[in-house]
Amino acid sequence: MIAARLSEDSRVRVLLLESGPADTLPQIAVPSAWPALRGSGVDYSYVTVPQVRTGNAVHAWPRGHTLGGSSSIDAMMFRRGHAADYDGWAEQGADGWDYASVLPYFRRMETVNDGDPALRGDDGPMRPAPAADPSPLARAFVDAATAGGHRFTFIEAPLHRPALHAPANSFTLGIATVPESRGTLRLVSTDPGVPPLIDPNYLAEGQDVRRLVEAIEVARNIAATEPLARWRDREVLPGHNVRQPGGLRHYLQWGTGASHHPVGTCAMGRGAQAVVDPELRVLGADGLRVADASVMPRIVSAGTNAATIMIGEKASDMIRSTHSLSPQ
């Protein structure tokens, strides 16, 4: 996104470096084929250190090693997250990254047919849209969630609207999407080809465990509704006999996995833990900016692709301003 925006000024020459191959694999353009990209030549194939609270398991952390980076292996997902996510960034010292400030960049990067013009763009390069033909199982799941007491408006309505109903036990209420546990990434060599030590510190915070236990119960309630009857068989994991919180917590020790959206290794802000300032400039270095998911002070309550593209849009304006370049 940054290279595309900066090159709109005909006076500018932009060098785009990518250590991986071109994004020509057909699986990249097929959302359902994303599992085939894991461990392939377009994946760095990172893994975590053993996680003591998940049975010493080593978890895969796929990262894109191709033109487009991890956005090319993300199953073409596009979700912004909640307005409160970005307001939270600003509260953590990322001045100018509150929702009102980033909304124009979300709008600028997209074209959405029949979208609310106050919220959606109509002249951008991205064309996000719902699936043209959702699967019967997807429809059944929405019907089941509605039957279980979860309002459909929580899925489809713009999340910033004050009239939006968000029940306390909603199956999309950030359960395990915004973990409280914090990990580390440590370099072990000056050789960039040597993988870092990645320790996400899964389930270190009790609140994460409580949310996941709650999520299991919510999933069970949804699965038990009539719309999913034709799809439903016996419960395999954690098993219908595992009902007590203690048993569910034990299951989480070996049944927890990752959803492959790590952020924050170069978090922006003003405190001692910040790596970049709100202008995305690396602290202590001249002429160097970082503009990807690593600068997020906290993960958004959705996949990170859309937010990362927005960061690129905003970064392009910052660079233009610094170098007195003309926008499109």
What's the residue count for the chain? 328
| Cα end-to-end distance, the chain, whole Å | 13
Return d(Cα 324, Cα 320) in angstroms, integer.
6
Return d(Cα 279, Cα 298) in angstroms, integer.
17
Angle at the Cα of 236 from the Cα atoms of 235 and 239, rounded to 5 degrees: 70
**Short-list 258, 249, 259, CA closest to 210:** 249
Selected catalytic residue, list 59, 250, 261, 323:
261
Is residue 72 within 8 Å of residue 86, measured between CB atoms? no
Residue 74: DSSP 8-state = S
260 is catalytic: no
| Phi, psi of 227, deg, nearest 5 | -60, -20
Return d(Cα 38, Cα 59) in angstroms, integer.
13
Phi and psi based region of residue 259 (left: phi greater than 0; alpha: psi -120 to 50; beta: remaining): alpha
Alpha-carbon dihedral angle through residues 182, 172, 129, 83, given to the nearest 10 degrees: -60
**Residue 291: partners with Cβ closer than 8 Å, 6 or more residues away:** 2, 280, 311, 312, 315
Is 223 strand, coil or helix? helix
Angle at the Cα of 98 from the Cα atoms of 96 and 104, rounded to 5 degrees: 85
β-strand 184-186 against 60-61: which pairing, if any? unpaired
Is 313 strand, coil or helix? helix
Residues annotated as catalytic are 261
